[in-house]
């Protein structure tokens, strides 16, 4: 019994640690859900702002294109063939720039949707990680419980219960002394005029013998029932430990998969960033070459083009420069948004690791509270030493244990 109490104390410490982990896990999960909601609202606002900006840009570009077409029609009447070709080339360049801007907008939108989907998948994995923590920790406790239960059974086979064995031996000695006294009294009575022995002493001896025998049987039955109760309680915790083992095993698999996905996402993000930088450098080189070519043509045409056509070309050149500035601004905004999403992803990965560490403490705390209640009930039964009351308390403890298991199942379903 003393060793079982020490074993229960060990499990109580482990349960306290699990309770602490579970409490921290709940706080981290709550904070994570709040951050997820804030991020979702922020992402929706940014998306709406981007759509509005896109509509305004498209309207402005359509107005410019319409204005340029109108000017081109008017200039076509007076501009010679060479200048008309120059304006057509500038118009084509403007159209190409618009196409490039549309392609970049589509690419940025696809990148935003992909990151949003990754964020949602990561939140779902957090919930799976929380559910897997309990199973794994119960598995670790179950292995320890099996080893201690095997040791307890070995001790019960060896009859290593010094206190109960000594009491049983004393009761056997008392019973043998009573039998010897009865035999001596019967021999003395045979020599006293053959008188029958008084009924009262014999009745006393018989009742005493029966009382001693009943005490021995009751004590044996108490020991058997006590061992059954402890084995049933150990079996209950063994089931809980098996459930925790399963949770921990699934948690390790989910965490490993999560780390692999994080590494793949990091490599993919680096590749996309490098590809974007190369594309940007090529575009800048091409734009510089075009600008240089246009400047050269403008210098050559300035000698023969009249003032009106020169102003038209300068306006087109200014529009090209403005479009380049807009492209730079959009590239800068897209890069900043990519860095922010990358940082959010890294923070969420860190919180996953904290969530895994917090799960064990909280679950051990829940098991510890149940264990305290059961241990208190066991001590009360050992003080009373009344078998009917012991059965009643044991039944109440089983009811409480079933209620606790039902509450845990309901909590898991809600999660």
SS3 state at 76: coil
State both tokens at 182: 């009865």
- Work out the angle at residue 344's Cα, subtended by the Cα atoms of residues 342 and 348, and round it to the nearest 5 degrees: 120
CA distances from 306 to 68, 80, 87, 301, 317 (A): 18, 10, 14, 9, 17
State both tokens at 237: 């915790």
Query: φ and ψ at 216, to 5 degrees?
Result: -65, -45
Q: Are 367 and 11 in contact (CB under 8 A)?
A: yes
Helix (H) or strand (E) holding 311: helix 307-384
CA torsion 147-153-157-158 (nearest 10°) is 50
Output the pLDDT for position 164: 46
Output the pLDDT for position 32: 65
State both tokens at 264: 């793949």
What digits encode the pLDDT tens for the residues 285-331? Answer: 887 787 777 777 767 765 655 666 667 778 888 888 888 888 888 88
Residues of the chain with pLDDT under 50: 79, 159-164, 191-205, 386-387
SS3 state at 249: helix
Output the pLDDT for position 95: 78
Output the pLDDT for position 9: 63
Q: How far apart are CA 227 and CA 235, in angstroms?
A: 12
Q: Are 404 and 370 in contact (CB under 8 A)?
A: yes
SS3 state at 331: helix
Q: How far apart are CA 302 and CA 317, in angstroms?
A: 14
Residues 6+ apart with CB under 8 A from 233: 374
Cβ neighbour number for residue 78 with a 10 Å cutoff:
11
What digits encode the pLDDT tens for the residues 175-229? Answer: 566 667 666 666 665 544 444 444 444 444 455 555 555 666 676 677 777 777 7
State both tokens at 411: 């909590």
Predicted TM-score (pTM) above 0.85: no
DSSP string, 120-182: HHHHHHHHHHHHHHHHHHHHHHHHHHHHHHHHHHHHHHTT--HHHHHHHHHHHHHHHHHHHHH
DSSP string, 179-209: HHHHHHHHHHHHTSTTPPPPHHHHHHHHHHH
Output the pLDDT for position 196: 45
At what angle are helices 307-384 and 81-157 packed, to 10 degrees?
10
Residue with the two structure tokens 């008084």 = 198
Output the pLDDT for position 306: 61
């Amino acid at each position: 019994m003393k060793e079982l109490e020490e074993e229960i104390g060990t499990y109580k410490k482990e349960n306290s640690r699990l309770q602490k982990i579970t409490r921290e896990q709940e706080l981290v999960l709550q904070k994570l859900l709040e951050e997820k909601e804030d991020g979702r609202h922020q992402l929706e606002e940014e998306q709406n702002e981007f759509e509005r900006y896109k509509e305004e840009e498209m309207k402005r570009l359509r107005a410019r294109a319409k204005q340029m077409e109108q000017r081109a029609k008017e200039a076509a009447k007076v501009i010679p063939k060479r200048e008309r070709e120059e304006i057509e080339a500038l118009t084509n360049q403007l159209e190409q720039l618009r196409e490039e801007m549309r392609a970049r907008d589509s690419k940025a939108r696809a990148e935003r949707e992909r990151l949003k989907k990754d964020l949602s998948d990561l939140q779902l994995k957090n919930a799976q990680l929380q559910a897997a923590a309990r199973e794994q920790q119960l598995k670790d406790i179950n292995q320890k419980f099996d080893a201690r239960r095997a040791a307890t059974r070995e001790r019960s086979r060896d009859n290593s219960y010094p206190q109960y064995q000594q009491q049983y031996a004393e009761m056997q000695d008392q019973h043998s002394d009573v039998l010897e006294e009865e035999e001596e009294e019967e021999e003395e009575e045979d020599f006293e005029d053959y008188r029958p022995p008084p009924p009262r002493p014999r009745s006393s001896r018989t009742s005493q013998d029966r009382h001693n025998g009943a005490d021995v049987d009751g004590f044996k039955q108490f020991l058997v029932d006590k061992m059954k109760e402890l084995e049933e309680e150990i079996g209950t915790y063994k089931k809980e430990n098996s459930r925790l083992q399963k949770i921990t095993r699934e948690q390790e698999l989910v965490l490993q998969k999560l780390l692999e996905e994080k590494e793949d996402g990091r490599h993919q993000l680096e590749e996309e960033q490098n590809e974007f930088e190369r594309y940007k450098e090529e575009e800048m080189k091409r734009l510089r070459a075009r600008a240089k070519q246009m400047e050269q043509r403008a210098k050559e045409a300035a000698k023969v083009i009249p003032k009106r056509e020169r102003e038209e070309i300068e306006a087109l050149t200014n529009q090209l420069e403005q479009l380049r500035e807009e492209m730079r601004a959009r590239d800068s905004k897209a890069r900043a948004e990519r860095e922010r999403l990358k940082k959010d992803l890294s923070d969420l990965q860190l919180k996953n690791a904290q969530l895994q560490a917090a799960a064990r403490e909280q679950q051990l705390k829940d098991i510890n509270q149940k264990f305290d209640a059961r241990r208190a009930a066991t001590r009360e039964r050992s003080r009373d030493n009344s078998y009917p009351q012991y059965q009643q308390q044991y039944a109440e403890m089983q009811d409480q244990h079933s209620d606790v298991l039902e509450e845990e199942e309901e909590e898991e379903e809600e999660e």
